Amino acid sequence: MQDNYQSSSYKELEQKSKYTNIFLRWFLYFVLILFASYFIFPLYVMVVTSLKTMEEIRQGTLLTWPSSLNFDSWLVAWGGRGYGAGDTFLRPYFWNSIKMVVPAVFFSTFIGAMTGYVLTKWRFRGDQWVFLFLLFGCFIPFQAILLPMARTLGTLGISNSVVGLVLVHTVYGIPFTTLFFRNYYISVPTELVKAARIDGAGFFKIFFKILLPISAPIIVVTVIWQFTQIWNDFLFGSTFSFGEAAPIQVALNNMVLSSTSVKEYNVDMASAIIAGIPTLIVYVLAGKYFIRGLTSGAVKG
């Protein structure tokens, strides 16, 4: 953050008596760190638990550090124990999720870019209403479309398949991607487009030569948003797929809920980390863009 954006209240504090000042600063940091520990606590517990043996889990507490770094639970969560039937592990479902996320993110981003482009640079009568028409799709509770969607996927012969989930996620991603691109392109001067049109440039040429080269930031925001939403989806995944076609969140939930034999919390935690790590990595690497998506599109599915 730039300095001039920072609250000037710090100066105010400086003028006060030194002791109040020091006390206030300590209080600030105390509260901030207290909350930080509340937020970090579950992640810490997940990681530590996944590295312990069941014996250690029963003896120690949530916070106890593992006696050794033991990645066995991770291997079991990822690749199973190798005893065949009934041995559930995440690897195949992880790939299901990849196969679902990549095309769905691509299609929804592409369609969103196109509609955002038309809505801002090729305006027509009633385009405001068309935008509102699309935007409302961001907010509908998906319960209101689950039943007909299940039937439609059945009719199309793609229920319980990755293809079906790609379709679902593409369609219900369009309102968000349109919103992102529309809000971005609206700040691009229309004069640029007009000048290009006078020079004889067509619809697609203008898009690829003028708009696309300056779209990198919004493409990153959109791709990250869509990736996170689709990767983390559970409602569609659990309603429209089961068994081998399930995405990773569904598989994780099934693994954790399965009541066979003894509960292995270390494997559960390792599984949860594996299911969460792709979005977490994206967040850590590109947090700025993730937050921009959150605060501008600002609805979580």
Partner 1 sequence: MFKWLEKNLPKIVMAPAVGLIGWFVYGFVLWTLYISFTNSKILPKYELWGFGQYEKLWASRKWLISVDNLLVFTALFLIFCIVIGIILAIFLDQKIRAEGVLRTIYLYPMALSFIVTGTAWKWILNPTLGIQKMFIDWGFENFTFDWLVNREMAIYTIVIAGVWQSAGFVMALFLAGLRSVEDEIVKAAKIDGAGLFTVYWKILLPMMRPVFFTSFVILVHISIKSYDLIVALTQGGPGISTTMPALFMTQAAFHKSQVGLSAASAMMMFMAVAAVIIPYLYSELRRENAR
Dist. CA 212–CA 214, nearest whole Å: 5
Interface residue with partner 1 among 22, 23, 26, 31 (CB under 8 A) is: 31
Per-residue CA distances from 102 to 19, 107, 117, 169, 293 (Å): 56, 9, 23, 11, 18
Instruction: Dig out the tokens for 75 from the structure.
Output: 């291997």
Site for partner 1 in 71-110 (CB under 8 A): none
**Residue closer to partner 1, measured from CB, 83 or 120:** 120
Residue 6 binds partner 1 (CB under 8 A): yes
Residue 133 binds partner 1, judged by CB under 8 A? yes
* Unique residue bearing structure tokens 């250690």: 56
Here the contacts of 192-200 (C-beta below 8 Å, separation 24 or greater) are: 193/121
Alpha-carbon Rg for the chain in angstroms: 25
Residue 212 lies near partner 1 (rule: CB under 8 A)? no
Q: What would the two tokens of residue 255 be?
A: 């693994």
| Cα separation, 126 vs 122, whole angstroms | 12
CB nearer to partner 1: pick between 161 and 271: 271
Helices and strands, number each (H, E), in the chain: 15, 0
Told to check if 221 binds partner 1 by CB under 8 A, we report no
132 binds partner 1, rule: CB under 8 A: yes
Candidate segments 76-84, 86-94, 156-164, 226-234, binder of partner 1 by CB under 8 A = 226-234
Q: Confirm or reject binding of residue 34 to partner 1 (CB under 8 A).
A: no
CB of 253 to partner 1, least distance (A): 5
Minimum Å distance from CB 11 to partner 1? 9
**Could you tell me which stretch among 65-73, 75-83, 86-94, 122-130 binds partner 1 (CB under 8 A)?**
122-130
> Which amino acid is located at 226 in the chain?
Q
Told to check if 208 binds partner 1 by CB under 8 A, we report: no
Q: Which of 21, 53, 160, 279 binds partner 1 (CB under 8 A)?
A: 279
CB 120 within 8 A of CB 182: yes
Q: Which is nearer to partner 1, 1 or 69 (CB)?
A: 1
> Binding to partner 1 (CB under 8 A): which residues in 173-202?
174-175, 178, 202
How is the chain split among helix, strand and coil, in percent rounded to 5?
75, 0, 25
Q: Report helix, strand or coil for 193.
A: helix
Sign of the CA dihedral 31, 34, 38, 40? positive
Q: Does 289 bind partner 1 (CB under 8 A)?
A: no
- Pick from 12, 72, 87, 244: which binds partner 1 (CB under 8 A)? 12
Q: Which residues, numbered 138-177, are part of the site for partner 1 (CB under 8 A)? A: 139-151, 171-172, 174-175
Q: Which of 191, 257, 259, 262 binds partner 1 (CB under 8 A)?
A: 257
Q: How far apart are CA 181 and CA 178, in angstroms?
A: 5
Residue 84 Cβ vs partner 1, minimum distance, rounded to whole Å: 25
